[in-house]
Amino acid sequence: MGWVAVTMTETQVIEHYSARYAAEFEDSGAQLEECYAVPGNGVWITVICGSCALGRYREYNVNRLGRFVHGGDMACADEGLKT
């Protein structure tokens, strides 16, 4: 692994994608605190932001280099959760 991969922390990745989420949904009042991370499935880390209840739910799947691999707007499993 290269220097960047070795020195990049989970916190840095969470902060980066939380800021991206807040900027993307700025008009609807998105906050950094709406994001958290879990170990990725096939990727290094998954940053999850928002919720079905908020009407915005997004996942950022990130590799060990900090690059966005896949994700985006996620459909809620039960549309009834948006109440």
Region class of 43: left (phi > 0), else alpha (psi between -120 and 50), else beta: beta
Q: Please give the Cα distance from 10 to 12 (Å, whole number).
A: 5
- Residue bearing the bigger pLDDT, 72 or 14: 14
* pLDDT given at position 51: 86
Q: What is the pLDDT of residues 27-53, one digit of tens each?
A: 888 899 999 999 988 999 999 999 888
* pLDDT given at position 70: 78
* pLDDT given at position 78: 56
Read off the pLDDT band of 17 (50, 70, 90): very high
Give the phi and the psi of residue 24 in degrees, each rounded to 5.
Answer: -65, -30
The first and second tokens of residue 49, run together, are 């932001």
